[in-house]
Structure 1
Amino acid sequence: MCGIVGGYWKGAEQGVEGRLDAALRRMHHRGPDDKGFELNNASNGIVALGHTRLSIIDLSSAGHQPMYSGDGRYAIVFNGEIYNYRELREELRTTGVQFHSDSDTEVLLQAWIAWGERCLARLQGMFAFVIHDRHAETLTCVRDAFGIKPFFYTWSPGRFAFASELPALLALLPNKPKVDWQRSYDYLVNADYDSQARTFIEGTYHLPPAHKMVLDLKSGMLAEPAPWWRPSPVQASSLTFAQATEAVREQFLDNVRLHLRSDVPLGAALSGGIDSSAVVCAMRHVDPESPIHTFSFIADGSPLSEEHWVDQINAHVGATPHKFVATGDELVRDLDDMIRVQGEPFGSTSIYAQYRVFQKAKESGITVTLDGQGADELLAGYSGYPGLRLLSLLESGQVGEAMAFARRWSQWPGRRQRHAWMHLMQLVMPECLYDMAKGAMGNSNSPAWLKADMLRESGVNLREARHGMRQDGRGRRVIERLLSSLRHRGLPELLRHADRNSMRFSVESRVPFLTLPMAELLLGLPEHYLISPAGETKSVFRAAMRGIVPDHVLDRKDKIGFATPEKEWLMNVSPMIREWLRSSEEIPFLQHARLLESFDEIMAGRRPFSWQVWRWVNYCRWYQMVN
């Protein structure tokens, strides 16, 4: 687990070496064990490759990067882990490839040389890497299927730069950054972020998950990012439910087994929910002897507390627990550091609970943790996507089954039958009615605290981006949405939080649910294997974990996760928050007085509390940092 930086500058670009060193310093937390960068001449310009290393596999200097092929043609900088590197190395050895280290970086480099792009689908791991081919004079940039590892870039004719984190990328640029108003609006009004290639800074982008792009050093032109994995919502499996249960069980245990490969101490983040509990119990199942350390946030004295479930899992596997509580005052203390680490605004204070989990892991001497992230997006978790499931049934002509599903789904805690049908209506209503319905619920596209006319004149679209529907998704609308959430709004933001929070404390966060074999297995199943006719979410996975995870955990009907008592925290520190919000006066498109007025009304209880407060605070603090 590391950080990578670099790029290409045509002509006699001044100060590249200094800017590269500054970018690496900004990412020291990603790789405190080693650092390296090199500048090479190429096509009337300079190619730079830099790397900071957190040593996890092969702790020797043989894993230093940039790493070169034996003939000097290829150079690589790589951030991530390839968990099946041993199997790939043995296969490559049979073809005559010789290895000089035990690192997964060398395996990745040799796999690319031997198989090219075809190697990507064979990698089980998380990765973002750049390969410089000196003969072909290209830089090839690749990101893993789910975007677990970050990749930021910017390009203009004759100048290309990339980095693992946005602050590091900005250090490579000669000019002061400009804030992207469209992404700012999307975040502040619709809580939409990390859902597309554009970032909060103009002219800087994410390489999308499961994409690659090639820079031609001779012409200086950058090709459009192209997908190397193209999942489809079409059902691909004919397995019975019993067969699927066995296949899911086998694949998940194999994933966990591979994710336990490490030359440093490891543990697990444990919220007490089904996903993290399954990870911890599977760790014990595949390795009955090794010590397990778990790290849990406890919402002490709150109905959100999952301490009861955490304690049961720790007792079940014989883990060493590390639990902590947090307060609003501590959030205030750490807020600027957390915002600086995240690099861009983010969604809620639950990210602070995660931040503290990784801090606790670092303090306890743990360098690698396993996490349940991605399970909801592969197994139709959360509330079970009721509107989409109803649409699938209706498109398949199963009207009676749809009526029965809505009734049974509503019998679970926190659900109402009318909510299922409201979700469906939200999906199918035209744009104009959707906007009217939002406004009637107090979610205007042009809230009073926004200078809407200024944004419109600047070309900002003051509407919420809605999911489109594919023709090949008919009758498979849940799967279609899951595929979208893997790449757009949903999983990308969760993976960003985890990557930046873990790397802040030089901890590698692994996500064993997110492998290509697991995704292709689950997304190819019938929808009712994921969401049962009785409204049970993650149905096939719950069945697969019987005998590994305690039944009373698998039978849980609620979902909390690392939820925080956000309202209580923010109310308790409201004077400090109000002082911070005074800086909104510096943001051109905000109505400073109206924003403070709205905040005061929420704090006084005259308006409902919402996550809007957090977004105001988060954005204002971030804006000050980049200006």
Structure 2
Amino acid sequence: MCGIAGGVWEGSDVVAASRQLHSSLALLVQRGPDDEGRDILLFRNRVVALAQRRLSVIDLSAAGHQPMWTTDGRFALVFNGEIYNYRELRRELEALGRMFRSHSDTEVLLQAWCEWGEAALPRLTGMFAFIVFDRLTGQLHGARDAFGIKPLYYCMSGRDFCFASEVPALQALSARKPDLDWQTAYDYLAHGSYDTGSRTFLRDVHGLPAGCCFLYDVAGGQFSQRAWWSPTIAPVQRLSLDDAAQEFRRLLLDSVRLHLRSDVPGGAALSGGLDSSAIVGCMRHLEPDVPIHTFSFIAKGSAVCEERWVDMVNAQVGAVAHKVSIAPEELLTDLDDMIAAQGEPVGSTSIYAQYRVFRLAREHGTIVTLDGQGADELCGGYVGYPGPRLRSLIDEGQWAQALDFLRAWGKWPGRNPMDGLKAAVAELVGDGAYQLLRRLNGAGPVPAWLDGNVLHEAGVSLQFPRPMSAVTAPGRRMCAELARSLHGVGLPALLRHGDRNSMRFSVESRVPFLTTSLSDFLLTLPEEYLVSATGETKHLLRRAMRGLVPDEVLNRRDKIGFATPERDWLMQMAPQVRDWLQAPLDLPFFRQDEVLKAFDQVVAGSRPFSWQVWRWINFARWHAHQFGG
């Protein structure tokens, strides 16, 4: 687990490149506090630079130093992440005649690239973002793991090309002053939509999409990109529910077994919900006698407190529990640091709870944690995706079953049958009708605190985001939506939060649910295995984890996660927040007088509290940090 940076520049000014690289690496020190490496060379009158900061997790010796070169000096690799099946791949490569000098997964990745090129990517079980320089062809190859667990940003200016693990480190490599991307800012502020594609909050700064690889020709300056993996929703597997649960259990246990490989102390982030509890249960099943340390946020005295469930799981597996509670003044103290660590705005204070959990882990000497992220998207979680599930039933002419599902779905806590019906209608109508229905439902695309005319004149699309799945089929609408959420709205933002929060404290966060084998299995099952006919979410996961997770947790009908008492915190922080919101941002489209008016109404209780308040705060503080406002 590390941070990488580098680039290609016109000319032969190695000194300038070295200076930029030094500044970039300084911003990545918490991603890799154990080692630093850099190589700068000339190729056809162009400077090529590769650099890495290392957090040592597998093979702690100097043999894992990067950039790592092949013995013939042709290929060089800088790599962020872990290849969990590196032992199996090494044996396969040794059988093909490959020789190894270390016990690191980095060298396995380098040798795999030498042997198979891009064909190595589907063979990798892991999280990764890496760059390979081929000195013979003068090409840079880059790739990101199937789910985008590890980040990789890039920008191009003329024929110059830069890359880095984080946006601030990327900016240090470029002479251009960044500009705010108004479309991204609007989507975030008005609709809470962010991390939905390659665009970032900064114009001309791009994130390599999950499951993609690229080729950059150093001499010619040409860049090309393609997807090497995408989710599959068909053909449907005809397994019985019990057989599917048994296979799911086997696949998840195998994934957790691989994710436990480490040469440093490990533990688990435990919220008390089903997903993280499943990971902890699998850990105990696989390692009956190994101490397990869990790290949890506890919202003391709040309706969203999950301490009961956390204690229940810890008691069953015999874990050593570590807990953290948060006072509002702590959020005030840490907010700017968390926003700086994230690099871009985030959606709610639950990200701060996660930030504190990773700080807690590091304080107790834990360097690797396992997490339940991704289970909602693969197993049919959240509120059960009622819209696409109903559409699937209607596709197949099962009108009676659709009506029964809607009634049963609406009986679960926190749900309303009318919400399910609205979701189904939204699935069935065209885009124009969808935009109209959103307006009729009382939501406008431009709130009073944004200037729609200014945004429109700047070319910003002022409408409700409606991301569509790249793959769909009649009767598979819910699985198509799950596949879309892996690479679209939802999971990418959650993975960014987890990566930056864990790396802020030099902790490696691993997510065993997110493997291509689990995705290819789960998304090709009958949809009713994931969300049952009665509206039960994660139906198969609950069945597969019997005996590993307390029944009380498996039978839970609510979903909380690292939720925080946001409104209570806001009331106690209101004076400081108001000062932040009235600090001039000098953005023509952001009407701060209207923001302050709305904020005062929320504090006074005359306007409902929503996550919108935290979007204002996050954006204002991030903008001040980014642009010096």
TM-score if structure 1 supplies the norm length?
0.98
Aligned residue number for residue 21 of structure 2 = 20
Alpha-carbon distance in structure 2 between the residues aligned to 1:432 and 1:523: 30
> Given the superposition, is the C-alpha separation of residues 41 and 236 from structure 1 closer, same or farther in structure 2, using an over 3 Å criterion?
farther
Aligned residue number for residue 62 of structure 2 = 61
> Given the superposition, is the C-alpha separation of residues 20 and 469 from structure 1 closer, same or farther in structure 2, using an over 3 Å criterion?
closer
Aligned residue number for residue 404 of structure 1 = 404
Aligned residue number for residue 126 of structure 1 = 127
Q: Deviations over 1:452-484 (max 9, x none)?
A: 111111111111220235674221111111111
Counting only pairs closer than 5 Å after superposition, residues 567-578 of structure 1 correspond to structure 2 as: 567-578=567-578
Counting only pairs closer than 5 Å after superposition, residues 67-466 of structure 1 correspond to structure 2 as: 67-223=68-224, 225-466=225-466
The more displaced of 146-155 and 551-560 is: 551-560
Q: CA deviation at 1:431?
A: 3.7
Q: Deviations over 1:55-90 (max 9, x none)?
A: 000000000000001111000000000011001001
Q: Which amino acid aligns with 2:609?
A: F
Q: Which amino acid aligns with 2:480?
A: E
Alpha-carbon distance in structure 1 between the residues aligned to 2:429 and 2:574: 39
Aligned residue number for residue 36 of structure 1 = 37
Q: Deviations over 1:197-220 (max 9, x none)?
A: 011011000000000010011211
SS of residue in 2 equivalent to 1:573: helix
Q: Deviations over 1:514-541 (max 9, x none)?
A: 0111111101111111011111111111
Q: Which amino acid aligns with 1:575?
A: P
Alpha-carbon distance in structure 2 between the residues aligned to 1:372 and 1:385: 19
Alpha-carbon distance in structure 2 between the residues aligned to 1:424 and 1:220: 47
Q: Which amino acid aligns with 1:220?
A: G
Q: Which amino acid aligns with 1:340?
A: A
Q: CA deviation at 1:442?
A: 4.6
The number of equivalent residue pairs is 626
Q: CA deviation at 1:136?
A: 1.4
Alpha-carbon distance in structure 1 between the residues aligned to 2:21 and 2:585: 34
Q: Which amino acid aligns with 1:196?
A: G
Counting only pairs closer than 5 Å after superposition, residues 445-594 of structure 1 correspond to structure 2 as: 445-468=445-468, 472-594=472-594
SS of residue in 2 equivalent to 1:250: helix
Aligned residue number for residue 9 of structure 1 = 9
Cα RMSD, aligned residues only: 1.2
Q: Please tell me whether the aligned partners of residues 232 and 520 of structure 2 are also in contact (alpha carbons under 8 angstroms).
A: no
Q: Which runs of 5+ in 1 are unaligned?
A: none
The more displaced of 458-467 and 142-151 is: 458-467
Q: Please tell me whether the aligned partners of residues 3 and 52 of structure 2 are also in contact (alpha carbons under 8 angstroms).
A: yes
Alpha-carbon distance in structure 2 between the residues aligned to 1:309 and 1:215: 50
The more displaced of 374-383 and 225-234 is: 225-234
SS of residue in 2 equivalent to 1:562: coil
Q: CA deviation at 1:41?
A: 1.1
TM-score if structure 2 supplies the norm length?
0.98
Q: Deviations over 1:273-298 (max 9, x none)?
A: 00000101110000001110000000
Q: Please tell me whether the aligned partners of residues 6 and 48 of structure 1 are also in contact (alpha carbons under 8 angstroms).
A: yes
Q: CA deviation at 1:396?
A: 1.1
SS of residue in 2 equivalent to 1:624: helix
> Given the superposition, is the C-alpha separation of residues 305 and 290 from structure 1 closer, same or farther in structure 2, using an over 3 Å criterion?
same
Q: Please tell me whether the aligned partners of residues 157 and 221 of structure 1 are also in contact (alpha carbons under 8 angstroms).
A: no
Alpha-carbon distance in structure 1 between the residues aligned to 2:215 and 2:594: 47
Identity %: 53
SS of residue in 2 equivalent to 1:29: coil
Q: CA deviation at 1:585?
A: 4.5
SS of residue in 2 equivalent to 1:590: coil
Q: Which amino acid aligns with 1:257?
A: R
Q: Deviations over 1:360-401 (max 9, x none)?
A: 000000000000000001001000001110011001111111
Q: Please tell me whether the aligned partners of residues 584 and 620 of structure 1 are also in contact (alpha carbons under 8 angstroms).
A: no
Q: Deviations over 1:174-221 (max 9, x none)?
A: 122111111000100010111010110110000000000100112111
Q: Please tell me whether the aligned partners of residues 234 and 472 of structure 1 are also in contact (alpha carbons under 8 angstroms).
A: no
Alpha-carbon distance in structure 1 between the residues aligned to 2:118 and 2:183: 34
